[in-house]
Structure 1
Amino acid sequence: MDVLSEMLSVSSVRGSAGARITAAGEWGVEWTGDRDAVVYAVTAGIAYLIVDGDTPRMLMPGDVVVLAQGSGHTLASAPSAPVHSCDNAAAVDARLRGAALALGDGGARTHILGASYSYDFAAPVPVFAVLPPVLHLSAPQLDASASDIVTILGRELAAPGPATDLLLDRLVDVLLVEVMRAWLSTDTELSASWWGVLRDPLLYSAVSKIHEEPGRPWTTESLAREVSTSKQTLMRRFAVFTGTTPGKYMTDWRMNLAARRLRDTDDSLDTIATDLGYASEFAFSRAFRRERQIPPGRYRSRSRDVGSRSRTRPSSTAEPAPSIAPTSDT
């Protein structure tokens, strides 16, 4: 059972490739914040990323940076460079033509690829909420496969062909997974969250069991037996790496699955309750309301309404960085 894949699926994370940015001389461009996450990969030259409340960061060739909460930000040749607002029309035109968004004057020295990640804001799993607001990985921290993905992205953006949008979006999804893998393997001071299950082999095994059979009447004792450890050890590892208990994780995951099915299917409450191990529709509804502070039927209506507005919002406002925004949502 691939835990990370399930987490991303439950959150409906979808990558959308944007455009190439080329820059020369003295330059600076500013984007206001929005809800979607943004990723930049520097393929040549240097740039500075400036985010309110954060020290300006120098981005070198091979670096990848993710703005997990879609914070307002500036890209510039230097922290003191003059800054202008993004030319949305030029950005969209460059995206359509497969051309680069040119910044500054003279021969391009800096090359940057940009993309964004949308996700269902009604989804209960906070994939991006528990990432650092600015996740900066240098080239040495990334696996060679991440560099290969960035190279292919650049080539496809420069020479679009049939099914380019589909290919680019899939590549951006793969890049996110590579970034997350690198972050998990290099950051030794992660705060306790559900990311912790990906860092501890024992927890990963335990959580995989829960994900494989969410409707099984698990107890901490039975789960510990399945992974050949003691109840006390399992509880201690959950507390250290996730900040929660096995029982709470089980309940949260069942509610995550229930929320996805309420949002994406027409399955009856009774069917969902049975599949997730609840004795009755009433027991499920009571548990869901206790955890989400809203009855499941009302959650279904509200989440679908939010999802519909998210899918139909215009591209000019859908992305936090207009210069890398796709022309349509995927």
Structure 2
Amino acid sequence: MYFLVVTGQCWYVPRHGQPLYLHQGDYLLIRATARYCLVSDLEATKTLHAKEERVASDEYVRWDEGLGGDTVRLVGGYFEIGPEHTALFSGMLPDFLHIRSSDEEAGRLSRLIALIGEESSCNLSGRDLVMSRLVEIMLVEVWRRPLNKIDVREAGWFSGMADPHIHLALQKIHADVARHWTVDLLAKEVSMSRAVFARRFAERVGVAPATYLSNWRIALAKDALLNSERSITDIALSIGYYSDSAFSTAFSRTVGVAPAAFRRARKSEQAARQ
């Protein structure tokens, strides 16, 4: 989930943890796994918690005592990860990401914020389409910001991207996933010894290089199986497997079912939802 403060200021109050004061232009990205409050006054959380007991867990509570005050405008929403990719992305994305409008790297974001603020208050044709694209661009821009402030002690994709050598290795894997990558070859590509590279990759990313490569290939395979009519052989070759049997074995070991069975089951589920 994300929140963008377009106008004014407010408090973000998680159910557990310290409140955070958000200023105009601040951006907050959080996992949608817990209750939270957005309030103008911390005392309001007591009333909201009391009202919350009478609503479902997926509903919002709104309380306005009508006393006026400064105008606050927020743009918020969520990005949904398909269930087939939840396990992969849960280890890659941060639980919490706050970018302040005063941060040095927020200059490009401030221009996007201005566009989003204008678009959110207009009634021009195509407004919803433009808004959806702008918030997607903002998400990408957030992830493109300088990574030198990422805490490398917390393993994950962001921590890996903050390390120049591991960043380069990840880029090479993503650019040519079908290549016959080995730990030796990746280490050579980033000018490191095999032992040092393997250890640092695991420390930064949280999994060994071979595991990351396998997980990424399976994620690409899932996407192709669900969103294309490509043959299993074609998919296997495109992500680095030299035979259907090798691909099927790796896929079944990770997912629990063979590729063809996965495709049939998920497409049946999609048809049922429609």
Give TM class, smaller chain.
0.7 to 0.9
After superposition, the Cα gap between the structure-2 partners of 1:166 and 1:309, relative to the gap in structure 1 and judged at 3 Å, is farther
Query: Are positions 1:231 and 2:182 aligned together?
Result: no
**1:137–1:183: 8 Å Cα contact kept in structure 2?**
no
After superposition, the Cα gap between the structure-2 partners of 1:126 and 1:51, relative to the gap in structure 1 and judged at 3 Å, is farther
Structure that is richer in strand per residue: 1
Out of 236, 248, 253, the position equivalent to 1:273 is 236
C-alpha RMSD of matched pairs (Å)? 2.7
After superposition, the Cα gap between the structure-2 partners of 1:253 and 1:170, relative to the gap in structure 1 and judged at 3 Å, is same
Deviations 1:205-258 (A, max 9, x none): 222222222222222112222333321232122122112222222212211211
**2:155–2:204: 8 Å Cα contact kept in structure 1?**
yes
CA distance in 2, matches of 1:281, 1:197: 31
Q: How does 1:248-287 map to 2 (within 5 A)?
A: 248-287=211-250
Give the count of matched residue pairs: 260
Correspondence for 2:58 = none
Q: How does 1:13-24 map to 2 (within 5 A)?
A: none
CA distance in 2, matches of 1:232, 1:109: 57
Out of 220, 233, 240, the position equivalent to 2:203 is 240
TM-score, normalisation: structure 2? 0.82
After superposition, the Cα gap between the structure-2 partners of 1:124 and 1:286, relative to the gap in structure 1 and judged at 3 Å, is farther
**1:41–1:63: 8 Å Cα contact kept in structure 2?**
yes
Correspondence for 2:257 = 294
Correspondence for 1:32 = none
CA distance in 2, matches of 1:248, 1:129: 13
Out of 113, 128, 149, the position equivalent to 1:150 is 113
Out of 155, 159, 179, the position equivalent to 1:192 is 155
CA distance in 2, matches of 1:306, 1:48: 40
Structure that is richer in helix per residue: 2
**1:69–1:133: 8 Å Cα contact kept in structure 2?**
no
Q: CA deviation at 1:135?
A: 2.6
CA distance in 2, matches of 1:129, 1:305: 28
Correspondence for 1:78 = 41
After superposition, the Cα gap between the structure-2 partners of 1:129 and 1:188, relative to the gap in structure 1 and judged at 3 Å, is closer
Identity among equivalent pairs (%): 28
Query: Are positions 1:123 and 2:85 aligned together?
Result: yes
**2:12–2:36: 8 Å Cα contact kept in structure 1?**
yes
Aligned residue type for 1:78:
D
**2:88–2:215: 8 Å Cα contact kept in structure 1?**
no
Q: CA deviation at 1:272?
A: 1.5
Secondary structure of the residue that 1:118 maps to in structure 2?
coil
After superposition, the Cα gap between the structure-2 partners of 1:307 and 1:138, relative to the gap in structure 1 and judged at 3 Å, is farther
Correspondence for 1:55 = 18
Structure 1 stretches lacking a partner, 5+ long: 1-37, 86-100, 313-330
Aligned residue type for 2:73:
H
Query: Are positions 1:135 and 2:97 aligned together?
Result: yes
Secondary structure of the residue that 2:85 maps to in structure 1?
coil
After superposition, the Cα gap between the structure-2 partners of 1:195 and 1:53, relative to the gap in structure 1 and judged at 3 Å, is same
Q: CA deviation at 1:306?
A: 5.1
**2:119–2:127: 8 Å Cα contact kept in structure 1?**
yes
Deviations 1:6-31 (A, max 9, x none): xxxxxxxxxxxxxxxxxxxxxxxxxx
Secondary structure of the residue that 2:112 maps to in structure 1?
helix
TM-score, normalisation: structure 1? 0.70
Deviations 1:164-211 (A, max 9, x none): 112111110111123234484433255112333321221222222222
Secondary structure of the residue that 1:151 maps to in structure 2?
helix
With a CA cutoff of 8 Å and minimum separation of 6, indicate the structure with the bigger relative contact order.
1
